[in-house]
Every structure is written in structure tokens, then in C-alpha cells.
Amino acid sequence: MAWAVPAIQIASAVPAFAAASGCCNVSLTGSAHWRSGGLNYIDIPLDLSNGCGTAVQGLIVTLTICGVKDLTYAGEEFLPAGWTQVGKGNKKLDADGHGCYVVTYTSGMTLAGNTTTHPQFTVKSMAYVGSGNNRPAASITAQVSTTGCTSTLVPISIPKV
């Protein structure tokens, strides 16, 4: 399965799984952290696993990022292939009524049985300047789904830096 951004090692993980029917064993683990060196980038590496012996298609990953202001997609003019913010342009991300940013990855590609893929999404905040401990703790809620199968919501913490 092709993803837009290379993978990095997961620092800490929280599993999720919920089956609708049949062999439905798609799970998600992930972490998030402010990039070191005083940068305002948040890296969000994920592991998506298919625990079934048969392939699954149409994976959808939804990330809800809360507690951080003025997010943009990091380093590019457009979101990576497959990532969208429904009804919004691809430059500056817009917060919802609760101050959270919701982005979705949709892929029509197949994830083979008993395999894992490692997408990473990176955002940048334009709200925090200077060095020191001024990047806030925040939170992400992640979920993966495919036809007939949706994981539970996975909470991912972003530690303060």
C-alpha cells in the first residue's frame, strides 16, 4: 500500500479494534510528538494492521487534533495524496467549532492479510514562536475503518515541549 510520507518508529502505542462481522481485524496504534529543535512541527506516526488472512480495501483514517492553534500541513502547499479536510482548501487547515482540526485519509488500495503499513502525518502550528517550553500538550483522536469494520477511537497524547 503506498502512503504519501515515510514511516518512523512508533515511540508509544495504544491499540484499537472493533469488528462488525466476519473476519474484520483492522487495528490502529500511534503516537505524536513535537519535533525537537524548537520547531513547531507535530509528527503523527501510525501503524495500521490487518489481522485477517484476507486482504481489506478502502481504508479510511480520521485524525481529530485538539489543543493546538493555527495548524497547517507541514512543509508543503498541499496535503499529501489521499489526505483531505472535508469542504476546506488544502493550505491552511480550519478548526471546527470546538477548536479541533479534523483530517481524513482515504485509500482505495488493498492492505494484504496479516500485514501492517506505517503512514505518518505531519502538521505545523503557526501559533508558537521562540524556543523553550511553549508548545502545549494537546490531543489527537484517531480511528481507522474499512467496509463493515471500524476501530474504536484511539486517544493519542501530544506532550508539552
pLDDT digits (tens, 9 = 90+) for 54-107: 888 888 999 999 999 888 776 555 666 677 776 554 456 788 889 999 988 888
Distances in whole angstroms, Cα of residue 153 to Cα of each of 44, 107, 112, 147: 15, 19, 23, 17
Eight-class DSSP state of 32: -
Among 28, 40, 52, smallest CA distance to 140 is for 28
The pTM (predicted TM-score) of the whole model is 0.78
Which residues, including other chains, have CB under 8 Å from residue 102's CB and lie 6 or more apart? 62, 63, 64, 65, 85, 86, 96
pLDDT score for 27: 87
Phi-psi domain of 78 (left: phi exceeds 0; alpha: psi -120 through 50; beta: other)? beta
Contact 64, 153 (CB under 8 A): no
Q: 26-129+136-146 has which CATH code?
A: 2.60.40.690
Among 80, 100, 78, smallest CA distance to 90 is for 78
Per-residue pLDDT tens over the stretch 72-85: 776 555 666 677 77
